[in-house]
Amino acid sequence: LNPNHQINSTNGKQSFAEQVIKATPGKTHFETCIQCGTCGGSCPSGPDMNHTPRALFALISAGLKNEVLQSNTPWYCVSCYYCTVRCPQEVHITDIMYTLKRIAVQEKVYDDSTAPDFSKTFINWVEKFGRSFELGLMGQHMLMHNPFGVFKIAGMGVGIVTKGRMAFKPTRIKGMASLKAILAKAKELEVSS
Amino acid sequence: MRYSYFPGCSLERNAAAYHNSTVAIAKPLGMELIEVEDWNCCGATEYISLNLIASYALIARNLAQASKNSASDQLVAPCSACYLNLRKCNKYMVEDSGLAEKVNLALAAGNLKYQPGTIKVRHLLDVIVNDIGYESIKEKVTKPLTGLKIAPYYGCMIVRPEFPTGGKLFDDTEYPTTLDRLLKVLGAEVIDYPMKAHCCGGHMTQISETTGFELIRRLIKGAVDNQADMIVTLCPMCQLNLDGFQGAMNAHFKTNYQMPVLYFTQVIGLSLGFDAKDMDIGSELVSARPALAKIGVEISETEAPKKRPSKEELPMPHMPEKE
């Protein structure tokens, strides 16, 4: 039984695995996965994932694209890279999780919008000002996804404000026009690739 | 020694204590930090989840800005997430010429250019233990932290993964020891902390509270179980999760942990003879005062947070606890 049997395209059409590999920078070593499960066993948020990374990789190889993109697994990846450094085959697991998030966002296939919206809100501030803005991010995100969560972290909020650790307005970098031009060009190249 | 310095967004305000203590100890340690001109956000773990080329271009703009500093090709980042992103961008631009070409096409739209691999990205801990060195620091310690039990907390992104073109990792991915050794040089008692390289959960508190709080609980409990007086960290995200969210985590699990979390630069400063105030001690939400009182460090009362009396302190009748 070879879990990699569908990695290569058979009828000239790009397989899902090929799409994932192509969209990830560097050499992913995805095709060398031996399904050992070291990744899932090392993952701090593994117990809350729909699929362990190992299981998700088997689904990718099997070409079950929708099941993969609707899984919460990539969005529950905390980017700690334990799996990546422990993988005996040196598969770039964390990078592949990022690729899966990007494909899910670009093709608008995800089950729960909490995490994608968090990333979008974060980046919205960065694209406008060049720096991130915690108050704006937390405020917008909680309003959208967790309005009652405000009460849970009210104590923390008061603490952060009274200790002077909260900025009330974002910092704008001087080279904003140049940064906007860079990001616009980058997005144009993204589409053409 | 001269370095380009990339503070990162957190150090502007939320982690100002990290920035201020770093700047304060730089002089006695002999580091000259030249802030990267008009740096921008590294995109954290968010941009890469949405756009590939744009996220690398965002990071590469900082590398391009850093290469304008002719005095040093060494770029120091105190934030582990910035450090990882800058290293990773450097690595993949060297390894993947297609990516490098696109990133440079994007940079050109803003009249910038970056030659992949020319900037050497270093973490502040790496620079302090390897360039300045344990011996040199030991000579400068005037107020050793004798009697203070510290849990050295590295978190994840500083020790993983190894990016070859960024230079070999300066510590072990599974069981790092550089911070342990540094804290011992400062006179502290370093406890064995099995969670030292585990993840704090990053942004998980905003995605799934149960997942996020559990990761924080494990780290705090690990330090408490091993009798630490405090956790010392080197990443603003770790500090925010462990210190800022400790109260919310306690409420979630009905626990009552009170584990202070300071930056390693703050405790270096104390051992070099700086006042607690100069190190912004007191800006942490879980007060480090009881722990620091053990080693005779005083924090003035006026800076203390106004605390409302807790239920325990009110003269309330209590039910005797069951045996």
Residue range B35-70, pLDDT digits in tens: 999 999 999 999 999 999 999 999 999 999 999 999
Q: Which residues of B touch A163 (CB under 8 A)?
A: 282-285, 305
3-state secondary structure of A184: helix
- A102 vs A99: CA distance, rounded Å: 5
> A48-71 burial string, b = 16+ CB within 10 Å, else e?
bbebbbbbbbbbbbbebbeebbeb
CA B307 to chain centroid, in Å, comes to 27
What are the tens digits of pLDDT across the range A22-77?
A: 999 989 999 999 999 999 999 999 999 999 999 999 999 999 999 999 999 999 99
Measured between CA atoms, how close is A35 to chain B, in angstroms?
Answer: 21
Residues (pLDDT < 70) of chain B are 163-167, 300-323
**Chain A residue with minimum CA distance to B91:** A26
Residues ≥6 apart with Cβ < 8 Å to B136: B29, B30
Q: What span, in angstroms and rounded, lies between the C-alpha atoms of A165 and B11?
A: 10
For residue A79, the model assigns a pLDDT of 96
Q: Is the ipTM of this complex over 0.90?
A: yes
**Which has the higher per-residue pLDDT, B319 or A19?**
A19
**What distance in Å separates the CA atoms of residue B296 and residue A26, rounded to the nearest whole number?**
52
Q: What is the pLDDT of residue A13?
A: 85
- Residues A130-149: pLDDT tens digits? 999 999 999 999 999 988 88
Instruction: Report pLDDT for B175.
Output: 94
- Report the residue of A118, A158, A163 to disrupt the B interface, i.e. the one with the largest count of B CBs within 10 Å: A163
| DSSP-derived 3-state class of residue A61 | helix
Instruction: Assign A10 a pLDDT band (cuts: 50, 70, 90).
Output: low
* Burial of residue A130 (number of CB atoms within 10 Å: 0-12, 13-18, 19+): buried
- What tens digit of pLDDT does each residue of A66-114 get? 999 999 999 999 999 999 999 999 999 999 999 999 999 999 999 999 9
What pLDDT score was predicted for residue B315? 55
Residue showing tokens 């910092």 = A171
Looking at residue B313, what is its pLDDT? 53
User: How far apart are the two ends of chain B, measured CA to CA in Å?
Assistant: 62
Pairs of residues, one from chain A and one from chain B, whose beta carbons lie less than 8 Å apart: 214
For B23, residues 6+ apart whose C-beta sits below 8 A from its C-beta are: B33
CB-CB neighbors (< 8 A) of A23 in chain B: 52
- The distance in angstroms from the start CA to the end CA of chain A is 34
CA distance A137 to chain B (A): 10
Interface probe for A, chosen from B19, B49, B219 (most Cβ of A below 10 Å), is B49
Q: Are A111 and A121 in contact (CB under 8 A)?
A: no
Tokens coding A166: 């909260």
- On average, the pLDDT of chain A sits at 92
- In sequence order, the β-bridge partners of residue B230 are B150
Contact A167/A133 with Cβ under 8 angstroms? yes
**Residue written as tokens 């697994």?**
A73
Say yes or no to pLDDT of A11 above 90: no
SS3 label, residue B129: helix
